[in-house]
Amino acid sequence: MYRFAFAAFAAAASLAPVSPVAAQVARPRPRGAIPVTLTKGVTVEGITEYTLSNGLRVLLFPDMSKPTATVNITYLVGSRHEGYGETGMAHLLEHMVFKGTPRHPNIPQELTEHGAQPNGTTWLDRTNYFETFSASDTNLVWALDLEADRMVNSRIAKKDLESEFTVVRNEFESGENDPGSILLERTISTAFLWHNYGNSTIGARSDIEHVPIERLQAFYRRYYQPDNAMLVIAGKFDESRALALVKEKFGRIPRPDRSGTMLLYPTYTAEPTQDGERSVTLRRVGDVQVLDAVYHVPAGSHADFAAIDVLASVLGTAPSGRLYKALVETKKAASVSSFAFQMREPGLLIVTADVRQEDPMDAAREALLRTMDEATSRPPTAEEVERAKASLLKSIDLTLNNSARVGLELSEWAAMGDWRLIFLHRDRIRAVTPDDVKRVAAAYLKPANMTIGIFVPTPKPARAEIPPRPDVAALVKNYRGDTARTAGEAFDPSPAVIEARTTRSVLPSGLKLALLPKKTRGGTVVATMALHFGTEQTLMNRAAAADLAADMLMRGSRSHTRQQIKDELDRLKAQVSIGGGPMNANVRIETINANLPAVLSL
């Protein structure tokens, strides 16, 4: 499984003291409670699945040839599950879980004492924690007790959060210093306008620095539960003993009540079909130009993905890859890569090229796009496809031959939907044909489905720094406003009252005039005029001209240009609108009483 540059994979070890406050305490089940059961499920190629009565899925992969064992627990929560203001929360929580529990107050020290190789990683669809250690019953008991305890008893305390900000901030700033990683972030976020895959796992700096501890605690309680986790034990261990320990350590944790705030909603935001090429340009200090091209592709579990994987290998693998030949061998780029973004929900095919600063970016871009287009017009040959399949299958087989690697790799496939997908994907790759690769290239490598990213090294990039939002309460604290406006009168808009107030007359021109005097707020006056004209004979074939005439009346006159009319109306605080049709014209004027004569004159 590929790891991408903008992911936040980090060991979250710290020797800082921890708070005595735990987020939740897992107590032994009382007498009379539902007994703990561990139900055996399927076995696939030496890996056996069990399900604990509280919902925890357990995979055992014994390998007596290894001197070590690996315990890996995966929580089905990643940056895809973060809400507004929560970006980076899954990764931040990964750090916080290393801060300890009441029973395991100093996790880094324990890891050292047991000779374990620890780590925690966060990705878009999952978070996992694992320890690899010398195979022994003592170490296995310790590792399972640690993971069961910190599943629900981790100290997610405010003081630890504040101290951990420095560590996470350093990770954030380290990523910010890598233009290639930042460009990939920007390109992916431009490709995903709505889906959370467009957000970097490390999160936004403002979210990281200001997240309330209560939100982090709620996130922990909601997602770090047995029914949202998968435990893998791989390597050298006794299966019966391991199952007994799992029941003992994890069985005491109750299945959560999935109602109210604990309800786990499936993510349902679907990225709409892209409707045109998109592009993003990044300007920062740097010494290498970078070019990215990303295309939307189906979810990792989709039947097309095996052919997409093969296509990515045909394009990017050195030295036979088409992109390598088109860009690196021709000196248009220093390096190229191509990989498939295989996730639970629809992901991306990503192509990237590093271009020397002195070389023309346009030439590299043209060569890259031409090569991508030729994947359809000049589809991969049988030789290219078989070479790519051999490379991909080799990687899978080498992984499956190493129990420690399998123990970790299963996290990715479980997050994708089911751990058995690793075998299904392998079988699908075996069956891929050149026609399959040609078909997926034609389906997904379309210009309208592409987002281009370009990094332009810039010694002194110009920036438009936006000031923070001011303190509005302070701005209006002593504000008293302008002089009071004249108040209007209460008015009964019944027909009888309107008629009684209205004065009617006829002007010498024959124009009928109706005046309705009343006190209005600010002395506002409204005038309307309706003009009726023409006959069937005089207006025949002139409907379009009549419609246009009303629009043209505000475009200027013999004495005033359009801009002069607008400027004068603004000075007079007047709003004038004119509309009409084949047999009428309507004028509406709104201004203040003192300016009405001037507006009428205009």
* pLDDT, mean of residues 65-92: 96
Say if residue 250's pLDDT is above 50.
Answer: yes
Return the higher-pLDDT residue of 117 and 552.
552
Question: What is the residue extent of each domain of the chain?
Answer: 38-257, 278-457, 495-601
| Top-level class of domain 495-601 | alpha beta
Say if residue 29's pLDDT is above 60.
Answer: no
What is the predicted pLDDT for the residue at 195? Answer: 98
Rounded distance between C-alpha atoms, residue 276 and residue 263, angstroms? 37
Tens of pLDDT, residue by residue over 478-532, are: 998 888 888 888 988 999 999 999 999 999 988 999 999 999 998 899 999 998 8
Rounded distance between C-alpha atoms, residue 249 and residue 232, angstroms? 14
Fold agreement between 38-257 and 495-601? yes
What is the predicted pLDDT for the residue at 12? Answer: 34
Query: 4-13, 79-88, 313-322, 545-554: which has the minimum mean pLDDT?
Result: 4-13
Say if residue 283's pLDDT is above 70.
Answer: yes
Tens of pLDDT, residue by residue over 216-243, are: 999 999 999 999 999 999 999 999 999 9
Rounded to whole angstroms, what are the CA distances from 530 to 333, 502, 579, 587, 588? 70, 17, 10, 7, 9
Q: At what angle do helices 158-176 and 179-191 cross, to 10 degrees?
A: 100
Contact (CB, 8 A) for 101 and 110: no
Rounded distance between C-alpha atoms, residue 82 and residue 91, angstroms? 10
What is the predicted pLDDT for the residue at 33? Answer: 62
* Amino acid at the residue 563: Q
Q: In CATH, what number does 278-457 get?
A: 3.30.830.10
As a three-state string, the secondary structure of 138-183 is: HHHHHHHHHHHHHHHCCCCCHHHHHHHHHHHHHHHHHHHCCHHHHH
One DSSP character per residue, 528-583 reads EEEEE---TTTTTT-HHHHHHHHHHTTSB-SS-BHHHHHHHHHHTT-EEEEEEETT
Say if residue 84's pLDDT is above 90.
Answer: yes
What is the predicted pLDDT for the residue at 18? Answer: 29
Say if residue 21's pLDDT is above 80.
Answer: no
Rounded distance between C-alpha atoms, residue 56 and residue 367, angstroms? 50
Say if residue 10's pLDDT is above 60.
Answer: no
What is the predicted pLDDT for the residue at 584? Answer: 83
What is the predicted pLDDT for the residue at 8? Answer: 37
* pLDDT, mean of residues 583-589: 88
Long-range interactions of 441-444: CB distance < 8 A, separation 24+ = 441/311, 441/375, 441/376, 441/379, 441/380, 442/376, 443/304, 444/295, 444/296, 444/297, 444/308, 444/349
Tens of pLDDT, residue by residue over 335-360, are: 999 999 999 999 999 999 999 999 99
* Amino acid at the residue 202: I
Average pLDDT value over all residues in the chain: 91
For Cα atoms 552, 556, 557, give the angle at the middle one, nearest 5 degrees.
Answer: 105
- Report DSSP state, residue 304: T
pLDDT band at 6 (very low <50, low <70, confident <90, very high): very low
Cis ω before 319 (30° cut-off from 0): yes
Say if residue 31's pLDDT is above 70.
Answer: no
| Per-residue tokens: 212 | 């309330």
* pLDDT, mean of residues 161-166: 83
534 phi-psi bin (left φ>0, alpha ψ -120 to 50, beta other): left
What is the predicted pLDDT for the residue at 573? Answer: 93
* pLDDT, mean of residues 162-174: 82
Say if residue 17's pLDDT is above 60.
Answer: no
Say if residue 544's pLDDT is above 70.
Answer: yes
| Per-residue tokens: 106 | 């100093």
Is 38-257 assigned to CATH 3.30.830.10?
A: yes
pLDDT band at 164 (very low <50, low <70, confident <90, very high): confident
